[in-house]
Structure 1
Amino acid sequence: MKTFTCNNCKNIVFFDNDICGYCDSLLGYWNEEEKIIAANPGTAFSENSTDFKYCKNHQYSACNWLIPDNSDIEFCEACQLNSIIPNIEDKKRLEEWRLIEFAKHRLIYSLNKLQLPFVFQQKDGKDLKLQFRFLGPQSNSEIGQKILTGHLNGIITLNVEEADDLKREKARMQMGEKMRTLLGHFRHEIGHFYWEAIILPHQENLHQFREIFGDERRDYSEALQEYYKKGPAEDWRKFFITKYASSHPWEDLAETWAHYLHIMDTVETAYYFGVKTEPKVLKNKQLLSSGITINPYKESDFDAIVNEYISLTIAINSLNRGMGLSDIYPFILNKKDISKLGFIHNLLFDRRNTFQT
């Protein structure tokens, strides 16, 4: 994530801020220019002779994105992707939805940085469109029906109870997951969407995928049943980034895609903050030294990105431990993981201007 400043007081502000903590100016995010705009006196947003207004969802404190004031559109690019939201008259659901939107907007930021479309024309002439459904228990007509987070035909469904820290942590412990976050869910499910959009329809991409991840034509339901019954193989760490990735090539891709977006966001943030690591106890300081000099969204060499990322996360994990907190990135990337991450990076970097929408 980039760093931002308030253009009234020039102090640092953050992506989801709608008020400057220093001068109390109203703030809004202008997606096309990737910048935060501070409102002028009288609460008018203006930039380069263009006036702006908030997305309609700002009234619920769920969005700080701006749209042109003369537009008939009421919702920003990110909020237009919603097909179902929770019952926001319920205060608990409203707060959960706000947290969900903050995570989703960060996802959309990353996808825009990668120049990824949200609509793809399929061979049958129909469009594959990215959409989001946020469902709570009251959304189901069938009493007791469990709401599963997942992706199907362009629609990403999220159980809003994932925004409840206690319930999410309980699920994380039960599933034996090292990380389980709202943003992580979005980054995982979007991997399923782009599998369907840019890998499956293209023979070259599909061939490379099968060489690296395996044959996805293996029965998916049977694979998951076997995984939940028997668990991962004892040597799963040699081949997969997480346990769940070992269940099926589709899940391997989605888990790897999530980690790819984790890496890109973290390195970009460190780049804009000018982070540098140089351990003082090592004779060969180059082993873990890294001045984050790479903007990952402009770097074609994934090895360069991941090398800086590894040094960075070792330092950040150590800082977290000093506060008695869990590692921010509790994973060790092996060569197989890095090759899979590199496949995604090369796929997006090489073809980012050739996607057909």
Structure 2
Amino acid sequence: MRTFECQCGNTLHFANTRCVSCGLMLGFMPDDKKLSAFTKQQAGVWRAATNGRLYRQCKNYSIQDVCNWMIPVEEQGDLCASCELTLTIPNLDQPDNRRLWFRMEHAKRRLLYTIYKLKLPVKSRRQDPEHGLGFEFLEDQTEDEFGNELTVKNFVTTGHNAGIITLDLKEAEHSSRVKMREEMNEQYRTLVGHFRHESGHYYWDRLVRNSHWLTEFRELFGDERLNYTYALQNYYEHGPAADWHKVWVSAYASMHPWEDWAETWAHYLHMVDTLETASNFDFSVSSHQVINPLQQLPETGDAKSEAHFNQLYNDWCRLTAVLNALNRSMGVDDAYPFVISNIATDKLRFVHKIISDAYTD
């Protein structure tokens, strides 16, 4: 994630809504992929300082205060490109749910920023009712509308189904997420990580299923036609494969080829977003300047594509070694508690090829 600059010269960050230096309102423009200062032109209409175009605030910005994205005035609808994807929001009558909803939307916007930069296809359920992308932020239902405890309780499971990504609202509560991380014996569990993982399932359907990539996918990840329910039960009963670190990017990736793909996809998004941040701050390690992998992706099959991935991966290895060392100096957990094997690296390279191919379409 890069930083931005206000017209007054102040540094701006992705989630900002007002410049602390000049006081102007800020908003993110999905069409330009930039955060800009805005000046009011008339009721409900704002002019962007960066490109001079006119915009409206998303309804969830102007009314709910959980968004900071803008809508070009010529476009229809009250919701921005991000909020339009949210099909179900939490019950705002419940204490703290607005705060948790904000965290969900912020993590989703971070995902979308990277997806837009990679030029991957994004269509809402309105645009594509059958295959469009949608999000539901749900919470466990243990009582009925009158406050009576339910005999059959509805517990939410984070997951993906036919384009709809469901996330358990508890994942936005830091203490609940840390508790779950400990119970599941996971070294890494973040809200944005959930969004990136589940988006991997969505894009497997869009980019790999029934495509010319399927044979190569099965050679690397395994046959996705294996019984998923059985694989899931086996994983939770017996744990990951003993040698998972030699083959998979994470323990959970060893559960089933679909989860292997989703975990690898999420890691790739971790890599490119973090490297863009490092590049934005002119970060270098041992005289190696970190490149911005989101600036331009070479065409698939081009020799430059392989060189681009090698540069990306080498930058990542050097950068994460520094990040982990810095965290240890502060007495906190490693920022990146993973060691990538050669086989897992080949899977990341495959994800890079898939995205590069979609990028050139």
Q: TM-score, normalised by structure 1?
A: 0.90
1:303-354 CA-to-partner distances (Å, cap 9, x unmatched) read: 1101001101111111111211111111111111111011011111023233
What amino acid is aligned across from residue 267 of structure 1 in structure 2? L
Secondary structure at the aligned position of 1:17 is classed as: coil
Q: 1:155 aligns with which of 149, 155, 164?
A: 164
Instruction: Point out the more displaced range, 160-169 or 130-139.
Output: 130-139
Q: Is the 8 A contact 2:142 2:153 kept in 1?
A: no
Shift of 1:42: 7.3
Shift of 1:91: 3.2
Number of the residue aligned with 2:91: 87
What amino acid is aligned across from residue 207 of structure 1 in structure 2? T
Shift of 1:103: 0.2
What amino acid is aligned across from residue 271 of structure 2 in structure 1? I
Number of the residue aligned with 2:136: 133
Q: Distance in 2 between matches of 1:308 and 1:72?
A: 42
Where structure 2 has 5 or more consecutive residues not aligned to the other structure, the ranges are: 145-149, 298-304
What amino acid is aligned across from residue 232 of structure 2 in structure 1? L
Q: Does 2:13 correspond to 1:10?
A: no
The alpha-carbon distance between structure 1 residues 139 and 64, as it changes in their structure 2 partners (threshold 3 A), is: farther
Instruction: Point out the more displaced range, 140-149 or 162-171.
Output: 140-149
1:21-57 CA-to-partner distances (Å, cap 9, x unmatched) read: 2222211011111211212267963134422121111
Number of the residue aligned with 2:300: none
Question: RMSD value over aligned CA atoms?
Answer: 2.1
Aligned residues: 339
Q: Does 2:60 correspond to 1:68?
A: no
The alpha-carbon distance between structure 1 residues 84 and 241, as it changes in their structure 2 partners (threshold 3 A), is: same
Identity %: 41
The alpha-carbon distance between structure 1 residues 38 and 164, as it changes in their structure 2 partners (threshold 3 A), is: same
What amino acid is aligned across from residue 107 of structure 2 in structure 1? A
Q: Does 2:278 correspond to 1:267?
A: no
Number of the residue aligned with 1:178: 187
Q: Does 2:354 correspond to 1:351?
A: no
The alpha-carbon distance between structure 1 residues 137 and 251, as it changes in their structure 2 partners (threshold 3 A), is: same
Q: Distance in 2 between matches of 1:230 and 1:200?
A: 29
The alpha-carbon distance between structure 1 residues 139 and 51, as it changes in their structure 2 partners (threshold 3 A), is: farther
Number of the residue aligned with 2:218: 210
Where structure 1 has 5 or more consecutive residues not aligned to the other structure, the ranges are: 279-288
Shift of 1:294: 3.8
Shift of 1:277: 1.6
Number of the residue aligned with 2:46: 45
Q: Distance in 2 between matches of 1:66 and 1:91?
A: 28
Number of the residue aligned with 2:301: none
The alpha-carbon distance between structure 1 residues 102 and 126, as it changes in their structure 2 partners (threshold 3 A), is: closer
Secondary structure at the aligned position of 1:330 is classed as: coil
Secondary structure at the aligned position of 1:32 is classed as: coil
Q: Is the 8 A contact 2:54 2:72 kept in 1?
A: yes
Q: Distance in 2 between matches of 1:179 and 1:11?
A: 34
Q: Distance in 2 between matches of 1:249 and 1:160?
A: 27
Number of the residue aligned with 2:321: 314
Richer in helix (by share): 1
Number of the residue aligned with 2:249: 241
Number of the residue aligned with 2:147: none
Secondary structure at the aligned position of 2:224 is classed as: coil
Instruction: Point out the more displaced range, 343-352 or 294-303.
Output: 294-303
Q: Distance in 1 between matches of 2:76 and 2:284?
A: 46
